[in-house]
Amino acid sequence: MTLLEITLLIPLLGGLLLALVGHRPIAGWINIAVGVMTFGAALAMALEVLDHGPQLSPSRMFYIDAFNVYLVVLTAFVGLTTSIFSRPYMRHEVERGRVTSRRLRLYHAMYQCFLFSMLLALSTNNLGILWIGMELATLTTVLLVSLYRTPEAIEAAWKYFILCGVGIAQALFGTVLIYFAAETKFGAGRDDTLLWTVLHESAGGMDPAVITLAFVFLLVGYGTKVGLVPLHNWLPDAHSEGPTPMSAVLSGLLLNVALYALVRVKMLVDGSLHTNLAGNLMMGFGLLSFTVAGLFLHRQHDVKRMFSYSSIEHMGLITFGFGMGGPLATFGALLHMTVHSLTKSAIFITVGHACQLAGTQRITQIRGLIRTQPAIGWGLLLGTVAIAGFPPFGVFISEFLLLMATMKTWPWLTIPLLAGFGVAFGGLFRHMQQMVFGEPPPGQKPVEANMLPVVVHLLLVLWLGLAIPGFLSRWFEQATVLITGASPL
C-beta of residue 343 within 8 angstroms of C-beta of residue 395: yes
Letter for the amino acid at 5?
Answer: E
Residue 63: beta bridge partners?
56
Say which amino acid occupies 22.
Answer: G
Average pLDDT of span 414-435? 88
**What's the pLDDT band for 1 if we cut at 50, 70, 90?**
low
The arithmetic mean of pLDDT across residues 408-430, rounded, is 90
- Whole-number pLDDT of residue 206: 81
Residue 312 CA, chain-centre distance (Å), reads 10
pLDDT beyond 80 at 22: no
CA–CA separation, 43 and 177 (whole Å):
35
pTM for this predicted structure? 0.94
Residue 41 neighbours by CB under 8 Å, 6+ apart = 3, 6, 7, 10, 76
Q: Are 18 and 113 in contact (CB under 8 A)?
A: no
Q: Name residues whose C-beta falls within 8 Å of residue 467's C-beta, 6 or more positions apart in sequence.
A: none
According to the model, what pLDDT value does residue 95 have?
Answer: 79
Backbone angles phi, psi at 487, to 5 degrees: -90, 145
Residues in the chain: 489
pLDDT tens across 130-143, in order? 999 999 998 888 88
Residue 489 has a pLDDT of 62
Asked whether the beta carbons of 352 and 321 are under 8 A apart, the reply is no
Residues whose CB is less than 8 angstroms from the CB of residue 262 and which lie 6 or more positions away in sequence, other chains included: 218, 219, 222, 223, 226, 282, 319, 322
CA 103 to each of CA 23, 146, 487: distance values in angstroms, whole numbers, following the listed order: 8, 10, 49
- Quick one: 101 exposed, middle or buried, by C-beta within 10 A (0-12, 13-18, 19+)? exposed
Contact status, residue 169 vs residue 149, Cβ threshold 8 Å: no
Distance from C-alpha of 237 to C-alpha of 126, rounded to nearest angstrom: 32
Residue 188: pLDDT over 70: no
If one counts every other C-beta atom within 10 angstroms of the C-beta of residue 179, the result is 16
User: Which of 475, 353, 416, 460 lies closest to 65, judged by CA?
Assistant: 475
Cα separation, 316 vs 285, whole angstroms:
7
Residue 113 is predicted with a pLDDT of 92
What mean pLDDT do residues 288-306 have? 90
DSSP state string for 57-89: -TTSSBEE-HHHHHHHHHHHHHHHHHHHHHHHH
Most confidently modeled range among 100-109, 247-256, 453-462: 453-462
Query: What are the pLDDT digits (tens) for 80-94?
Result: 999 999 888 888 788
Q: How far is CA 89 from CA 137, 153, 231, 292, in A?
A: 23, 18, 31, 32
Percent of the chain scored above 90 by pLDDT? 44
pLDDT at 271 over 90: no
Give, rounded to a whole angstrom, the gap between the first and last alpha carbons of the chain.
37
Residue 354: CB partners within 8 Å, gap ≥ 6?
303, 366, 369, 376, 380, 435
Which residues pair with residue 55 across a beta bridge? Answer: 64
CA-to-CA distance for 448 and 90, rounded, in angstroms? 11
Asked whether 137 and 165 are in contact (CB, 8 A), the reply is no
Within 8 A by CB and 6+ apart from 466, the residues are: 392
Tally the C-alpha atoms within 13 A of residue 90's C-alpha that lie toward its C-beta.
32
Cα dihedral sign, 287-289-295-297: negative
Q: Name the band, by pLDDT with cuts 50, 70 and 90, for residue 396.
A: very high
Closest CA to 221 of 189, 253, 177, 179: 177
pLDDT value of residue 144: 87
- DSSP conformation class of 205: G
Residues 45-70 have pLDDT tens digits of 988 888 888 888 888 889 998 888 98
Q: Give the three-class secondary structure for 55.
A: strand
Q: Residues 140, 113: contact at Cβ < 8 Å?
A: yes
**pLDDT value of residue 189:** 63
**Average pLDDT score over the chain:** 88
